[in-house]
């Protein structure tokens, strides 16, 4: 297995890049502490303090929470025996700590994850991301991501911040993504995203029948009560978000009207199409986070696919566009609604 790991000094992007990358949670790379045992004799000055407090002072390279977990799991011994977090230390005890890797310590290592490559040259890589694949490691998904797969299949990406990733798709949204294979290419792609010159078109199936076409210009920010969700907001913290849509076809899922849309992103906020369509009264089929929970049986994920991507090549400066067919499950869904993918 390839063992390339992204250097820590390559993992930091500018504020603009972070915004365009659409990765909202803070991510950090933990220092490699190794897993060699640590032994120390407690000084008499700590007499009367509990074990976890003592260790947080004597081995500050580890967080107190991590030390507490190791104590509970039996990876810390006091005079050769396991102990409790609140055990009072008297001074002179021999402490042995067996450091354990946390899940996030392995976040940026290569993994043999299948990738569907639509286009590749020396500067860029265009991938058709399947539904169910998380783009970037984060809380709850420290492995098995697109980034891990990129590092396995293209080890040289270890020298590029975020393995060249410049934007993302939600876990259960499929479709086209571009990756910069060099720092220069990645920087140019970020600049194009900032300038809103990257063309992104999505196929979306929504409940209801919106107007034949329209533009939703509604700023967005993190939901005030549910941190897993985004929301339309007039807060000063909200960021501009603009979605253009065009109605392509209408149909029925049982007795419920549905509509196939082509959605064009002018900006790229987290969950943008899902939030904009839901806030307009037309949630995506299958979207249980923003849509109709009781209709989840019709589709196991949000019916959304990034099917068209256009940009200016960062080296040749030629305008290039890629278009992919709909996923088989999306086609079957349209068929059940009495539609055809030929509408796209």
50: domain CATH number is: 3.10.290.10
| Final residue belonging to a domain, choices 158, 192, 226 | 192
pLDDT < 70 positions in the chain: 1-35, 102-106, 343-344
Q: Compute, in degrees rounded to 10, the torsion defined by CA atoms 217, 252, 204, 340.
A: -130
Q: Which range marks the domain in which residue 337 is found? A: 196-344
- 177 and 236 share a domain? no
pTM summary value: 0.73
pLDDT score at 220: 95
- 68 and 87 share a domain? yes
Q: How many domains does the chain have?
A: 3
Task: Give the Cα separation of 293 and 121 in Å (integer).
Answer: 43
Residue 147 lies in a domain: yes
- Structure token pair of residue 174: 């499929």
HSE-CB of 195 using CA atoms within 13 angstroms: 10
- Structure token pair of residue 210: 């919106």
Task: Give the Cα separation of 268 and 192 in Å (integer).
Answer: 12
Q: Which of 9, 73, 122, 170 is catalytic?
A: 170
- 73 and 216 share a domain? no
- 242 and 218 share a domain? yes
- 329 and 291 share a domain? yes
DSSP annotation of 279: H
Residue of 267, 268, 291 lying closest to 278 (CA atoms): 291
Q: Is 170 among the residues known to form the active site?
A: yes
DSSP, residue by residue, 35-95: ---EEEEPPGGGTT-BHHHHHHHH-TTS-HHHHHHHHHTT-EEETTEE--TTPBP-S--EE
Task: Give the Cα separation of 16 and 229 in Å (integer).
Answer: 22
| Final residue belonging to a domain, choices 161, 192, 223 | 192
pLDDT score at 17: 32
Order across the sheet with 76-78: list the strands. Answer: 38-41, 94-97, 76-78, 81-82
| Final residue belonging to a domain, choices 171, 192, 213 | 192
- 2 and 135 share a domain? yes
CATH assignment of the domain containing 210: 3.30.2350.10
Residue 30 lies in a domain: no
**Radius of gyration from C-alpha coordinates of the chain:** 25
Would you say 124 and 185 are in contact if contact means Cβ atoms under 8 Å apart?
yes
């Amino acid at each position: 297995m390839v063992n390339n790991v992204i250097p820590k000094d390559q993992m930091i992007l500018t504020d603009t890049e972070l915004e365009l990358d659409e990765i909202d949670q803070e991510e950090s790379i933990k220092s490699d502490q190794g897993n060699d045992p640590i032994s120390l004799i407690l000084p008499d000055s700590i007499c009367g303090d509990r074990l976890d407090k003592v260790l947080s002072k004597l081995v500050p390279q580890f967080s107190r929470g991590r030390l507490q977990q190791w104590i509970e799991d039996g990876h810390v011994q006091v005079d050769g025996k396991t102990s409790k977090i609140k055990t009072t230390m008297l001074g002179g005890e021999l402490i042995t700590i067996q450091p354990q890797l946390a899940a996030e310590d392995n976040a940026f290592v290569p993994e043999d994850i299948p990738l569907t490559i639509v286009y590749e040259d020396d500067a860029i890589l265009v991938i058709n991301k399947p539904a169910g694949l998380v783009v970037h490691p984060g809380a709850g998904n420290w492995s098995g991501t697109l980034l891990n797969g990129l590092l396995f299949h293209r080890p040289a990406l270890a020298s590029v911040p975020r393995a060249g990733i410049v934007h993302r798709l939600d876990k259960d949204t499929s479709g086209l993504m571009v990756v910069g294979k060099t720092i220069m290419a990645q920087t140019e792609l970020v600049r194009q995203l900032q300038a809103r010159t990257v063309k992104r078109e999505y196929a979306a199936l929504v409940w209801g029948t919106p107007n034949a076409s329209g533009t939703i210009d509604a700023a967005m920010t993190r939901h005030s009560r549910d941190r897993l969700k985004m929301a339309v907001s007039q807060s000063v913290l909200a960021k501009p978000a603009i979605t253009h849509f065009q109605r392509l076809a209408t149909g029925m899922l049982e007795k419920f009207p549905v509509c196939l849309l082509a959605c064009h992103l002018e900006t790229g906020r987290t969950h943008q199409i899902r939030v904009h369509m839901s806030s307009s009264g037309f949630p995506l089929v299958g979207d249980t986070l923003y849509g109709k929970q009781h209709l989840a049986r019709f589709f196991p994920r949000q019916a959304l696919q990034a099917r068209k991507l256009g940009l200016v090549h960062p080296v040749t400066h030629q305008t290039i566009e890629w278009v992919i067919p709909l996923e088989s499950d999306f086609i079957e869904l349209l068929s059940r609604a009495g539609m055809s993918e030929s509408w796209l």
